[in-house]
Chains A and B, each alone.
Chain A
Amino acid sequence: MKNVYLRSSYLEIIKQKYNILLHVSQTNFDLNFNEFEENIKSLKKEYFLPNERILIEITDTQAYDVYNKETKYGLLTRNIIDTFIEYDIPLFTMFIVTNNFYLREEINTIVPEQANNITVFFTLRGFSMYGGSSKFLDRPFCFDKIKKNCLTILGYDRLHRRALYQVLKNKKEKIAISYRKVDNKNF
């Protein structure tokens, strides 16, 4: 298990019920799908016990078919399901934890007859990368220190953020802007 983000309070509950054969995060393999495929392939066996599960975290965005607007499912989701089917791994072993609220609908579209065999759990607080470690202390409510109208945290370079920055950079007296440091030596 490398770089998985499900918090222990959630994981322990799943482990109480299921034997987790593999625990992976989309962020490990969406840029190297072969690795995921090899992992799935290595799990192949004669039969699976009812309590065996493959835990997959889907926390990031994914691509949708831009050529067919009617195809409403992520290509990564499709590839994951295809891989299970290709290596004859029963879909009941698939346990997806996600922040994609509509993933269940997508799975219903891809494998309508078997969709109910796949467990999908939606969470916003379950991933440590999503501020799961933040402590909810009783912080004082504060408004008298407000100095600027807005704050924007742009993070990594994306097209919509760059477009936003081009507009907001002229309003710095009203908006505090944060952006990810450039680590490319070419600049």
Chain B
Amino acid sequence: MTRLFLYPNQRHQQTWYEPIVADKPYKDSLISNVENVDFLNLDLYTEHYKYIGLEIVSETVFDYYQPFVSEKTLRPIFNKRFFIILSGPGTLKLLQNLGFKTWNHIIDESYDNEKDYIKRYNLILKEIEKFCNKDINEVKNLVKNNKDMLEYNYTLLKNLEEKEIECLKSIL
């Protein structure tokens, strides 16, 4: 029987083609050193989130026809921060359907509806640009003023295991 295979995430080629990483080991938690951290070997929680307002989540796939959620998307939720997600269209909607709050009042989330990945990419870049233009005190205030929503998402994620296990029991 013929089997068809393609490897969209290219796990067999897991290196950058150009040396863009400093090779010094990570030593402290200063945000200026964040580029040396191997996040894949860390837990969901890291100290680094203390120093930032928003995470630009780069999911495993972007030119994908359906939503995709992995630990990368869970990380900012776990660390009580805003997020913009580069993933398949509808990923934010999927999170909303699961009960999570997203940040349409801060970031224009219409990119999530755009199925053309080039247009979606450009919409995302525009929002990143807008968020980067904010003064750092404004970012602090945004995080502070949205504490309730950030805590809500965290609690939802915290209780998700319990809910999922109930759901698992119900289908057995």
User: CB within 8 A of A14: which of B37, B72, B151, B172?
Assistant: B172
A72 contacts across to B, CB distance below 8 A: 65
Query: Which residues of A from 21 to 72 have beta carbons under 8 Å from B?
Result: 27, 30-31, 33, 59-66, 72
A179 contacts across to B, CB distance below 8 A: 16, 20-21, 35
B51 located at the interface, meaning its Cβ lies under 8 Å from any Cβ of chain A in the complex: yes
Number of residues from B at the complex interface, CB < 8 A: 91
A106 to B12, CA, bound (A): 25
- Contacts A78-B4, A100-B68, A162-B16 known; list 10 others, CB within 8 Å: A30-B5, A33-B3, A79-B4, A125-B160, A125-B164, A126-B161, A136-B158, A146-B50, A148-B51, A180-B21
Q: Is the CB of A176 within 8 A of B34?
A: yes
B27 located at the interface, meaning its Cβ lies under 8 Å from any Cβ of chain A in the complex: no
Given A10-B168, A62-B8, A64-B65, A150 contacting B16 (CB threshold 8 A): no
Given A146-B51, A180-B21, A184-B15, A141 contacting B171 (CB threshold 8 A): no
Q: Is the CB of A164 within 8 A of B165?
A: no
Minimum C-beta distance from B115 to chain A (A): 11
Q: Is the CB of A130 within 8 A of B4?
A: no
B157 contacts across to A, CB distance below 8 A: 125, 136
Minimum C-beta distance from A96 to chain B (A): 12
A29 to B11, CA, bound (A): 12
Of all chain A residues, the one with the shortest Cβ separation from B138 is: A149
B11 contacts across to A, CB distance below 8 A: 27, 30-31, 60, 156
B15 contacts across to A, CB distance below 8 A: 156-157, 180, 182-184, 187
Q: Is the CB of B78 within 8 A of A131?
A: yes
Given A101-B94, A155-B40, A176-B34, A182 contacting B16 (CB threshold 8 A): yes
A158 located at the interface, meaning its Cβ lies under 8 Å from any Cβ of chain B in the complex: yes
A1 located at the interface, meaning its Cβ lies under 8 Å from any Cβ of chain B in the complex: no
A163 to B118, CA, bound (A): 11
Of all chain A residues, the one with the shortest Cβ separation from B45 is: A134
| Chain B CB within 10 A, most for which of A31, A78, A123, A148 | A148
A139 contacts across to B, CB distance below 8 A: 45, 80
Q: Is the CB of B143 within 8 A of A129?
A: no
Of all chain A residues, the one with the shortest Cβ separation from B117 is: A160
B51 contacts across to A, CB distance below 8 A: 145-148, 151, 176
Q: Is the CB of A160 within 8 A of B56?
A: no
Minimum C-beta distance from B9 to chain A (A): 5
Given A129-B71, A139-B45, A154-B58, A13 contacting B165 (CB threshold 8 A): yes
Q: Is the CB of A165 within 8 A of B20?
A: yes
A176 to B136, CA, bound (A): 14
Given A151-B56, A160-B63, A141 contacting B69 (CB threshold 8 A): no
